[in-house]
Structure 1
Amino acid sequence: MKIRNLDTFYWVSTLGSFRAAAIHLNISQPAISARIHMLEQDLGAWVFLRDVRNAELTPEGRKLLPYAERSMALEQQIIDAFSSTTRIVQTIRLGAAETIVTSWLPEFLAYVGKTMPGIAFELSVDTTNNLRNALLLREVDLAFLMGPVAESSIANNPICGYEMVLSTTPDIASQHTHWSAPDIAANRILTFSQETRPTKEIRSRLVAVSDVPLDMTTSTSVGALIELACSGYGICALPRAIIQQALSSGKLVELNTDLQLQDLSFTASYVQSAVTSEMVRKITESLTTFLEPRLRDGIYFTGASQSAIERI
């Protein structure tokens, strides 16, 4: 029996379909089917049910799965033991919210490349809701998102928080010396996509003080929102750290208001029982070391190891 076929069985059962396993292993779906067929011939038993939409295990498949998990774990231990000399490159499927991507993620990936050789990343950028679903479906190994993810199988490590502010162009800001919540609600609001927590919070708070329907422009592209705000299209509700350059240049100014938005808290979340979990845990540990000297205005630690949150 070939170990490769056992590994393929593990990924089909973990990801839930032959197609998902083919994408993950970067081979064709017929090749996946051929490997499973060879494995079943070696075992003399079917490991997946036929004529069902998803890859469902037979009783023999459920019996085999713990052995496949141990085999994958052993492979990972061997790679870890020879990490200083092996030429094997491990790919970690990383999902990240755009707030993280536009602040410190590029530097962190470069840092990992220098300090933890042998790791490559397959990066996907998405909303927290989609990243959470991808994590639960085992489509990503690690996610930097607005957590925690409330599932017993998921480990959540607090990493950092972002201060949310309301800002706009100097011309618009000069319309009021002090902006009340109704004043803000009367203007166009630019912020994250509809299904995100901060947008739901902003909407609920402004709807309560507005007599007219809210005019909200939402987007998954933080860069587009900043450009719109700088052009005078409306008031943006975004993390201070993300708009710091526009604030420093004077293109945007922070509103003088008593309306305080809830900060964004991010976690590094991953599946605890996955074969990549030990490698992912090491990556999250290195993240704390990386972030400490690099945090800037508007970003702060939320890690449980700190005695207090210190704003930079």
Structure 2
Amino acid sequence: MEAFVYVIHCGSFNKAAEALYLSQPSVTARIQSLERELDCRLFDRQGKQVQITEEGKRFLPYAQQLITTYRRGKLHVHRQRKLPEELRIGCTVSVSNYVIPELLPKLKQRFPDVHYKIVTGVTDDIVGKVLGKEVDIGFVRNVNHPQLHSAKLYEDPITLYAYEGHPFVGSERVTIEQIADQPLVFFECGALDWLRIHRMFENLDKPPNIQIQTDNSETAKKLVIGRAGISFLPGLTVRQELVQGKLIPLKVPETEGIALQTNVIVSPGEYAHFMNAIIEIGKQFMSPIGGVV
């Protein structure tokens, strides 16, 4: 492709060979190979002069585009070899609280010379920051955006949790009617999956007994431990409390399959080495504790 474009630009095979640091027979052989591939003549040769054919004129913009794409790709590959001095991470509050403290030390082991900056926000804000190049990598709820590369990091099942000694502890299953009568601490993070929790109560004669509403999982969790009520919570938020026996999961068949998905997002072609490392590390520490898969 370069030989073809250079012959046109320089006006002769000899001058194209000099510009490409090749011999004239080598340039000729490359043009002949391209002509065989395309099954047409690209130049009319008249002594030392060459004239581009109509077929060559039609092919020229495509050749130029291929060369440009190749050079951009080459630059991108070499740029990716050099790691950034600082990786800017945008994430939701839950990821900041429960994922980053476990993930970041392992990430630093792989990229020890990189510094990390973490900012938190809701999913829409983080998506905007990645698009605007304000952060390099985002941790968000399950989103698909045409200008971003998105990959699933983990799914976090939503389960009903009670404090130690609650009457429901030890029950094989708890009905929606029983739950609705209990004082509820309702954690709401705005994800679509929470709509499915709301819908479980739609067919009841009376609304659920929601005593407290909060958009902070730590607040909801501590209120349950303090016996203010029971609560639907993502499993990742209660891993430590489950091990300590401070919170007990309750079996509610209607909640099976309801989970919050967290994705990693980057601009296409950027920070792939970090993204792959994050997903690999995530698989290691996202154990089944608390129902996390």
Q: Which category of TM-score, normalised to the shorter sequence, fits these structures? A: 0.5 to 0.7
Return the letter of the residue paired with 1:168: A
Structure 1 counterpart SS, 2:285: coil
User: Does structure 1 residue 183 correspond to structure 2 residue 174?
Assistant: no
Q: Match for residue 14 of structure 2?
A: none
Does residue 158 of structure 1 match 2:158?
no
Q: Which residue of 2 aligns with 1:299?
A: 292
CA distance 1:205–1:250, shift in 2 (3 Å): same
Larger Rg computed on CA atoms: 2
Shift of residue 77, structure 1, vs aligned partner: 6.1
Equivalent position to 2:242, from 230, 247, 260: 247
Partner SS state of residue 269, structure 1:
strand
- Work out the number of aligned pairs and report it: 218
Are positions 1:195 and 2:190 aligned together? Answer: yes
What is the one-letter code of the residue matched to 2:162? T
The 5-angstrom pairing of residues 26-175 of structure 1 reads: 80-83=80-83, 90-147=85-142, 149-174=143-168
Contact (CA 8 Å) 1:170, 1:253: kept in 2 or not?
yes
CA 1:121/1:218 → structure 2, altered by over 3 Å: closer, same or farther? farther
| Structure 2 counterpart SS, 1:131 | helix
Contact 1:180 1:257 (8 Å CA) reproduced: yes
The alignment partner of 1:285 has SS state of: helix
Counterpart code for 2:216 = S
* TM-score, length of structure 1 as denominator length: 0.60
Cα distance in 2 for partners of 1:138, 1:125 equals 15
The DSSP-based 3-state class of the residue aligned with 1:122 is: strand
Shift of 1:155: 0.7
User: Secondary structure at 1:284's aligned position in 2?
Assistant: helix
Specify the alignment match of 2:261 in structure 1. 265
Cα distance change of structure 1 residues 251 and 107 upon mapping to structure 2, 3 Å threshold? closer
Q: Which runs of 5+ in 2 are unaligned?
A: 1-70
**Identical aligned pairs, as a percentage?**
16
Change (3 A) 1:118 1:204: same
Deviation at 1:238, TM superposition (A): 1.3
Q: Which residue of structure 2 aligns with residue 62 of structure 1?
A: none
RMSD: 3.0
Aligned partner of 2:185: which letter? Answer: L
Among residues 226, 232, 237, which one is paired with 2:227 in the alignment?
Answer: 232
**What one-letter code is carried by the residue in structure 2 that aligns with 1:151?**
H
- 1:223 paired with 2:218, answer yes
1:110–1:244: structure 2 CA closer, same or farther, 3 Å change rule? Answer: closer
CA distance in 1, matches of 2:145, 2:218: 32
Query: Aligned letter for 1:236?
Result: S
TM-score normalised over the length of structure 2: 0.63
Which amino acid in the other structure matches residue 299 of structure 1?
Answer: V
Q: 1:124 to 1:190 in 2, by over 3 A?
A: farther
- The answer to whether the 8 A contact 2:191-2:260 is kept is no
Quick one: distance in 1 between partners of 2:234 and 2:189?
A: 16
Q: Determine which structure has the larger strand proportion and give its number.
A: 2
Contact 1:192 1:198 (C-alpha < 8 Å) held by counterparts: no
Distance 1:268 1:203, change over 3 A: same
Q: Which amino acid aligns with 1:266?
A: T
Q: In the alignment, is the contact (CA less than 8 A) between 1:161 and 1:299 conserved in 2?
A: yes
Following superposition, the deviation at residue 176 of structure 1 comes to 9.0
CA distance in 2, matches of 1:175, 1:292: 31
**SS of residue matched to 2:261:** strand
Q: Which blocks of at least 5 consecutive residues in structure 1 are unaligned?
A: 1-69, 84-88, 301-312
Deviation at 1:228, TM superposition (A): 0.7
Q: 1:81 to 1:253 in 2, by over 3 A?
A: closer
Counterpart contact for 2:152–2:263, Cα < 8 Å: yes
